[in-house]
Chains A and B, each alone.
Chain A
Amino acid sequence: MQQVSTPSQTTLPLVKPHTRLAWVGQLFFIVLGLAVVYILGKNLISNPTLFANIFISGLQLGFVYAMIALGYTMVYGIVKLINFAHGDVFMVGAFVSFFAVTRFNLHQWPLAVFPSIPPMVGVVIGSISVIILSMLICIMLAVTIERVAYKPLRDAPRIAALITAIGVSFFLEYFGALNFVFSPRFIPYERPFEVVAWYIKGGIHQVVPGTQPPDGSITFSNILLIIMLASVLVQIFLQFLVKRTKIGVAMRAASYDKQAARLMGIDVDSVISFTFAIGAAFAGLGGVLYAIAYSSIWSQLGILPGLKAFVAAVLGGIGSIPGAFVGALIMGQAESMTMGYISTPMRDAVAFTILIIVLLIRPTGIFGEPEKEKA
């Protein structure tokens, strides 16, 4: 651990990673990979509908992780900080929408104000208002966290900011667990709109509540579609933002070299705040959709999705936006397939084993470029 305390020395000088992972290690990973392919292939052939249903639940998880992973990867790209409080911002997003729906009936305002509009439109506008409110509050929270906890440590060693991030994360989890905040209990989540499910079996049919779809049907719900749509839109929006806008150029400049960017007249501090705000907005969106999908919330809701999104960001190549997206989809499938074909309690173990394997084989991730260590 002593190497960590000196920021300039980031790799263990003893053994080169490649000689360590000699052919025995590579053989091990090849065998592991073949075993995974064999198990999945066998199950796909023996019961394709079950495989499809498991795949769909993995898609749903993966797209939620993608929305969280973007925040990790963008913040890391610019300030080289793993913002562990990000998962808890996601949790706050879920709670804000819960209070908006149950206490203030925010999802019903369009119908209350304009009773003449079609109910469907009212529900859509109402739900979008709930999501926007959650995103705004998450943005305020994240910008506050950044100003209070991270900005004063901008020039401190990176480990100090990392520890602070863990501290902020714990603060949000346990402050949220107080009885007068969110309480430590599991709270049934009241959805702003109804879940509608369909099954595919010779065409697409709606699932009638109380009757079971026929054998061999693949089911999916409107929540899955909403999550996929939202996640893809977020991805496209970010690509546009980073590649085509002025603030995007500023973000990229700040991520290359903060000093030089500052000399070029870029207000690096507001660029950093903006990055936190964008990440938090998507975490808030993810939090609302996650709560709607799984219908129970509590103050430590964000820990595991947050950590898995972090693994997804590392898998895709931390700092890379498409990488976070692809990594998240892989994580969703890995988790879902583990639940389906190994056992549910193993899923977290598998998720974090993937982190270890990535760090061993390709620490820069799928999309990452080999990092040049700056002096």
Chain B
Amino acid sequence: MRSLKVLSLFVILSMILVACGGTGSTGGAKELKVAILAPLSGPVPTFGVSTRDGALLAIEEWNAKGGVNGYTIVPIVEDSQCTPEPAVNAMNKVVDQDGVKFVIGEVCSKATIPISEIGTEKKVVVISGTSTAEAVTVDANGNTKPYTFRACFIDAFQGLVGAKFATEKLGAKTAFIMLDQANDYVKGLAEEFEKNFTAMGGTVVGKESYTAKDTDFSTILAKIAEAKPDVVYLPDYYNIVNLVTKQAKEKGITSAFLGGDGWDSADLDVVAAAGGYFTNHYSPDDPRPEVVNFLAAYGAKYKNDDGTAKVPDALATLAYDAANMLFTAMTTAGTVEDVDKVKTALEGIKINAVSGAITLDAKHNPVKAAAILAVTAEGVKFEASIAP
């Protein structure tokens, strides 16, 4: 028993020492601690693994270049489970015990919101790769949270990009909107699409809602066949898209269907949805050098079970971008210790990230290009990159 006590005392002492060390340690190799909070267990473990891998790749690359401002980056990975309580515990642990001042994560908005509140309170920068809810960077009074940022665009932004793609690339004059009123994500995209499509000179010739459990869309499709719109905006998840596009094809409807990243699934029925387009955060087929280099580096570091190179998904990409935003801002600010200077540098950031060139608006939301993907019977292909 005594040995156990001694051991635990030793552990606690070493923890205190490490905590005191923190970013301020100047002796020997200078270390910058960065926490990665990702849901490695819980409902969406694949999201967590992708996020961790993307962020770790960015850290490895910066360290290979000699670190940030001469500091070697030391990642601390914690499992935040996509759930508020474990996320808060992990956040408190890395901030209070490890002395971390910069956090990359979480994935899920419901977990990122509470950790961003701790960040505001304790002056810790939090950058989420993929939390899309508006409340992540804005508090209940509508004020921007000073230390919270993200690398992804918010949901409604896809509606804007969709409208722009429809008017500019497809030359659409008329649109028909289908939406599930009970789904905030769908509603947000549809409203933003309607607003922008109308502002760009288009006409919304019809708007019909349905519910998530519907399987029969024949009456709505009869109205679409009457209205003959240039595009049908359907920003729902792939299961609804499969049904609607299949039934539309059978009715001989030729209007192009347009959607958001809810279409991004291996289960999308590409034969039914062929001829449609959707907006997404990024496409691995995008020919920009940032994407090509990232794909090569990611594939070299991470392998599938059968030994083939892994293709990064949107989560890995956005976590990688979030890490790069942070380290670029530190380089610009010339410090890794002054949180306020890094925060100011982040607000003015300009970076050619993998998911597109990023600048931030007043609410710390990225203003950047979205990828437009075309659905063909053979699969989903990169179509265009649309800047707002």
Contact = CB atoms under 8 A, between A and B. Distances in A.
B239 A57 contact: no
B143 interface: no
A179 interface: no
A207 B239 contact: no
Contact of B215 (A54, A301, A336): A301
Interface string A343-360: 111001000000000000
A273 to B, nearest CB: 32
Interface in A300-323: 300-301, 304
Contacts of A144: none
Contact of A54 (B182, B219, B267): B219
Contacts of B219: 53-54, 57, 336, 339-340, 344
Contacts of B195: none
Contacts of B220: 339, 344
A296 B252 contact: no
B17 interface: no
A188 interface: yes
A213 interface: yes
Interface string B274-308: 00000000000000000000000000000000000
A297 to B, nearest CB: 8
A211 interface: yes
B10 interface: no
A349 to B, nearest CB: 11
A61 B246 CA distance: 18
A219 B252 contact: yes
Interface string B209-243: 11101111011101101101000000000010011
A367 interface: no
A47 B226 contact: yes
Contacts of B254: 210-212
Contacts of A295: 242-243, 246-247
B249 A57 contact: no
Contact of B208 (A50, A195, A344): A344
Contacts of A243: none
A209 interface: yes
A211 B275 CA distance: 13
Given A296-B243, A344-B214, A345-B181, A188 B269 contact: yes
Contacts of A336: 218-219
A345 B252 contact: no
A195 B250 contact: yes
Give the size category of A's interface with B. 35 or more
A197 B226 contact: no
A186 interface: yes
Interface string B175-209: 00000011000000000000000000000000011
Given A50-B222, A53-B225, A344 B209 contact: yes
B251 interface: yes
Contacts of B242: 186, 188, 295-296
Interface residues of B, number: 32
A294 interface: yes
A219 B214 CA distance: 21
A352 to B, nearest CB: 14
A212 B222 contact: no
A209 B225 contact: no
B19 interface: no
Contact of A219 (B213, B239, B251): B251
A262 interface: no
B222 A54 contact: yes
A295 B267 CA distance: 14
B209 A343 contact: yes
B249 A209 contact: yes
B253 interface: yes
B213 A304 contact: yes
Given A219-B252, A294-B216, A296-B215, A345 B222 contact: no
A340 to B, nearest CB: 5
Interface in B256-278: 267, 269, 272
Interface in A273-300: 293-296, 300
B215 A294 contact: yes
A50 B220 CA distance: 11
Contact of B252 (A60, A186, A212, A215): A212
Contacts of A49: 226
A351 to B, nearest CB: 13
Contacts of B246: 188, 295
Contacts of B250: 195, 197, 207, 221
Interface in A33-89: 47, 49-50, 53-54, 56-57, 60-61
Contacts of B214: 344
Contacts of B181: 345
B223 A340 contact: yes
Contact of A207 (B226, B243, B251): B251
Interface of B: 181-182, 208-211, 213-216, 218-220, 222-223, 225-226, 228, 239, 242-243, 246-247, 249-254, 267, 269, 272
Interface of A: 47, 49-50, 53-54, 56-57, 60-61, 185-186, 188, 195, 197, 199, 207-213, 215, 219, 221, 293-296, 300-301, 304, 336, 339-340, 343-345, 348
22 contacts: A49-B226, A50-B222, A53-B219, A53-B225, A54-B222, A185-B267, A188-B246, A199-B252, A207-B251, A212-B228, A215-B226, A215-B228, A219-B252, A294-B215, A295-B242, A295-B247, A296-B242, A296-B243, A300-B213, A339-B219, A343-B209, A344-B209
3 shortest A-B CB distances, which residue pairs? A57-B218, A186-B239, A53-B222
Given A185-B239, A195-B250, 10 more contacts: A53-B218, A53-B219, A61-B216, A185-B267, A211-B254, A212-B225, A219-B225, A293-B216, A294-B243, A348-B211
